[in-house]
Amino acid sequence: MFGFLQALVVWLISAGALVGSIWALIDAVKYPDSAFVNAGKKSKALWLVLLGVAAVVAFVSMPPLPFGPNLFGFGGGGALGLLGIAAIAVVLYYFVDVRPKVRENNYGGGGRGNRANGGW
Confidence of residue 23 (pLDDT cuts 50, 70, 90): very high
Mean pLDDT, residues 37-55 taken together = 93
What's the domain range around 99? 2-109
d(CA 108, CA 105): 8
Is residue 31 domain-resident? Answer: yes
Q: How confident is the model at residue 21 (pLDDT cuts 50, 70, 90)?
A: very high
Task: Tell me which amino acid residue 75 is.
Answer: G
Q: Would 119 be classed as within a structural domain? A: no
Q: How far apart are CA 87 and CA 78, in angstroms?
A: 12
Mean pLDDT value across residues 13-39: 92
Residue 18 lies in a domain: yes
In a domain, 86, yes or no: yes
Instruction: Tell whether 118 is covered by a domain.
Output: no
Is residue 15 in some structural domain? yes
Query: Domain count of the chain?
Result: 1
Residue of higher predicted confidence among 113 and 4: 4
This model's pTM is above 0.95: no
Instruction: Assign 113 a pLDDT band (cuts: 50, 70, 90).
Output: very low
